[in-house]
């Protein structure tokens, strides 16, 4: 399907936590991987990601690393990290520069106040930190845990230097809400009715996000 598409398509492994998983993805033809060693020590994170960057590049694939740790909301699929002081896990700008230079990654996910999953309270992003990191490194910065942010937060983050936004929950919920609506209508509905409706809802929400991120016509 990627080869048939009329726009460039990236087949990306998100949050590859094990070396074996990343290697399998590369063998299967993924064009991009994320090797997430953010919960390891700084030194181990560098060592492991540097090795995987060399392997990924030998396959002609790009690699994303993570520095700092993007937390998890209580009900997220990643599980709650239950951090009392999330700012302690934010990405340090000087370390980001050192990390990129030593690992050779092609993109960097940074921790600046977002979390995976659905938010119970509005997150507070550290826009100054985004700006500082963007001014110190030349590769694209990635924002994880984007679902639930306000439109103004997204726009501000992009203005300060975010190049890639990972979105799942907002799109996932849009599909579920559309299926729920069909079921509430009271008519007999089967998977053959629900699946196309979910696909359409995902498409609509994705287009909305692309417009918000100014991603249209940027091939």
Q: Where are the beta strands (DSSP E) in the chain?
A: 12-16, 32-35, 62-67, 71-72, 107-110, 115-116, 141-143, 162-165
> What number of H helices and E strands is found in the chain?
7, 8
- Token pair, residue 88, equals 């302690």
- Token pair, residue 131, equals 């700006």
Which candidate in 14, 92, 98, 170 is catalytic?
14
As a whole number of angstroms, the distance between CA 14 and CA 34 comes to: 5
- Token pair, residue 184, equals 């509430």
Active site (annotated) includes residue 98: no
Active-site residue set: 14
């Amino acid at each position: 399907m990627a080869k048939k598409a009329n726009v460039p398509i990236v087949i990306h492994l998100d949050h590859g936590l094990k070396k074996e998983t990343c290697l399998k993805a590369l063998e299967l033809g993924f064009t991009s991987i994320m090797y997430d060693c953010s919960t390891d020590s700084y030194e181990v994170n560098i060592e492991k990601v540097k090795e995987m960057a060399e392997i990924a590049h030998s396959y002609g694939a790009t690699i994303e690393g993570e520095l700092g740790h993007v937390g998890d909301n209580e009900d997220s699929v990643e599980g709650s990290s239950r951090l009392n002081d999330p700012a302690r896990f934010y990405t340090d700008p000087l370390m980001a520069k050192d990390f990129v230079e030593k690992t050779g990654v092609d993109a960097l996910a940074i921790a600046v106040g977002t979390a995976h999953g659905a938010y119970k309270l509005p997150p507070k992003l550290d826009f100054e930190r985004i700006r500082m990191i963007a001014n110190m490194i030349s590769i694209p910065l990635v924002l994880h845990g984007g679902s639930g942010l306000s439109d103004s937060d997204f726009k501000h983050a992009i203005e300060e230097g975010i190049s890639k936004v990972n979105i799942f929950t907002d799109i996932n919920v849009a599909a579920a809400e559309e299926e729920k609506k069909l079921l509430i209508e009271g008519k007999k509905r089967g998977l053959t009715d629900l699946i196309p409706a979910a696909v359409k809802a995902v498409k609509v929400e994705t287009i909305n996000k692309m417009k918000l991120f100014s991603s249209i016509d940027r091939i």
